[in-house]
Amino acid sequence: MAHTTVTDEMLMALSDGALEEPEAGRVAALVAADPALAARLAALRAGGEAARRAYAGVAEEPVPHRLLAAVLAADAAAAPPPAPANPPLWRRPAAAAAIVALAAALGAIGGRLSAPDRGGLATPTPLLAAALSAAGSGETLTTATEAATVLATYRMENGTICRAFATGGTDPASGIACRAGSAWRIAALVRREGGDGFRPASGLDPALEAVLDRRGAGAPLGAAEEAALRAAGW
């Protein structure tokens, strides 16, 4: 059967225009020839549209004062030492921005699912990092141009703590970030359309669920366990 050779990730990539030729042509031909594949593709598209409509605008919620205070306190405690007069090139702001731009151009944070389950592909923005460190599941931090919502927290089979998140702004996305030492690293990222504040209506994007499954994630942690981890610095 043709549908056994086509995964949901391939169908979602085809729907988003992220599947490259000649694979895109092959999958499109299989969909056209197989009603079961066509039905799967239609269901994936319908689910995405329903989820976007259900959670539009969540990023407009105000940030709780206790979270703002916690973020400011963490920033003050983690202030870096003065930079040397001639720092290495990769530490200079302009060069760092160019490196990030190059990574984006190469696809490190592009496409529907970026580098899933490969040990961390990017450093989160300051706002997202603050949300991952200080926010409970379901809470959102916002600025004038960006929003970051923590969706859930998981403990991996090897003990690593990972958090699912959604971001809003000019390039909205959802993803998985995992704790690595004293910082967060993005392990998988799904770019999406539909505006700020979108969150999946009943769980995560299927591609992100697959990443969690491969890493042996347990059930989402409860609020008490999350609070204990935050207090311990993750």
Domain residue spans of the chain:
2-54, 58-77+87-231
| Mean pLDDT calculated for residue range 80-109 | 48
| Mean pLDDT calculated for residue range 101-116 | 40
List the one residue out of 152, 147, 167 whose CA is nearest residue 212: 152
SS3 of residue 147 by DSSP: strand
Q: CA 198 to CA 38: how far, in whole Å? A: 26
The pLDDT assigned to 219 comes to: 94
Among 69-78, 136-145, 192-201, the least confident range:
192-201
Residues 6+ apart with CB under 8 A from 172: 166, 191, 192, 193, 194, 195, 196, 197, 198
Q: CA 174 to CA 166: how far, in whole Å? A: 4
The pLDDT assigned to 46 comes to: 76
> Of the ranges 20-29, 69-78, 104-113, 188-197, which is most confident?
20-29
Q: Is 121's pLDDT higher than 60? A: no
Among 5-19, 54-68, 85-99, 189-203, the least confident range:
85-99
Average of per-residue pLDDT values in the chain: 75
Handedness of CA 35, 40, 41, 47 (dihedral sign): positive
> H-helix or E-strand containing 63?
none
The pLDDT assigned to 231 comes to: 92
The backbone torsions φ and ψ at residue 118, rounded to the nearest 5 degrees and listed phi first, read: -120, 30
The backbone torsions φ and ψ at residue 73, rounded to the nearest 5 degrees and listed phi first, read: -65, -40
| Mean pLDDT calculated for residue range 8-13 | 80
> Of the ranges 16-20, 31-35, 64-68, 218-222, which is most confident?
218-222
| Mean pLDDT calculated for residue range 148-168 | 95
Write the single-letter amino acid at 77: A
pTM tops 0.85: no
What does the pLDDT look like over 181-234, one tens digit per residue?
A: 999 999 999 987 654 444 444 468 899 999 999 999 999 999 999 999 999 999
Q: Give me 66's structure tokens.
A: 């206790």
